[in-house]
Amino acid sequence: MAKKKREIDDRFKRFGIVSFTATTKVNDFVSYLEQGKVMGTRCKKCDIMFFPPRADCYQCLGGDMEWFEVSGTGKLVTYSKLQYAPVGFEQDLPYCIALLDYGDYKVFGRIDKEIGDDEIKVGMDMKTEVRQLPEDRLIYVFTKA
């Protein structure tokens, strides 16, 4: 009798330019990216918003979470333009990593390459948008509000 192959939900390996994680309890994050949505989780009991999304609440130790969409605009907290990159990212250089503050939570990511250096200002309003990458990969970037 043929052995039944164990199904592994490894959707998360599609996240980012290079993914270092294949399995997580918040794999739905990737399915939401497919729908063009960047989502965090909110603990229904404690009303804490988490980004990046978490499956477990450290406060109540429960896991009764609901998804919320990262929407509207956040303020650019800080950023840096890289001239060197780790393995797997060399072709992308140069690129900017950055942090947006949405008030209740912050989002770490990249600034859209379409935005010129002289247009990037700390404190500016930006949006978080999903981008499709080659080979069925998904990422999000920060764009002008």
Partner 1 sequence: MGKIGIIGVGQSAFVRGYPGSIRELAFEGFKEAVKDAQISANDIDASIVCSAPEYDKQRSPSGIFAEYLGLIPQPTFYLESLCSSSSMGLRMAYSLVKAGLHDVVAVIGFQKMSEISSAESQERMGRGADIQWESPFGTMMPAYYAMYARAHMEKYGTTPEDLALVRVKAATYGQINEKAVYRKPVTLEMFTDPESPMAGPVSSPLRVGDCCANADGSSCVIVANEEKAKAMSDKPVWILGLGAASNSVNLAGRDLFTGLRVAELAAQQAYKMAGIGPKDVDVAEVHDCFTIAEIMAYENLGFAAPGEGKELIKSKETYKEGSIPVNIDGGLLSKGHPIGATGGSQIRTVVLQLRGEAGEMQVKDPEIGLVHNIGGVGIYGNVTILGR
* Contacting residues toward partner 1, per CB under 8 A: 12, 15-21, 24, 51-52, 77-89, 92, 95, 97-99, 105-110, 122-123, 139
Query: Which C-beta is closer to partner 1: that of 2 or that of 38?
Result: 38
125 contact partners, CB below 8 Å, separation of at least 6: 73, 74, 75, 76, 145
Query: Which C-beta is closer to partner 1: that of 2 or that of 53?
Result: 53
Can you read off the two tokens belonging to residue 118?
A: 């002289």
Q: How far is the CB of 80 from partner 1 (least distance, A)?
A: 4
Query: Which C-beta is closer to partner 1: that of 2 or that of 101?
Result: 101
Can you read off the two tokens belonging to residue 131?
A: 């981008």
Q: How far is the CB of 11 from partner 1 (least distance, A)?
A: 13
Query: Which C-beta is closer to partner 1: that of 3 or that of 68?
Result: 68
Q: How far is the CB of 48 from partner 1 (least distance, A)?
A: 12
Half-sphere exposure of 4 (CA within 13 A, CB side): 3
Q: How far is the CB of 16 from partner 1 (least distance, A)?
A: 2
Q: How far is the CB of 145 from partner 1 (least distance, A)?
A: 19
Query: Which C-beta is closer to partner 1: that of 19 or that of 44?
Result: 19
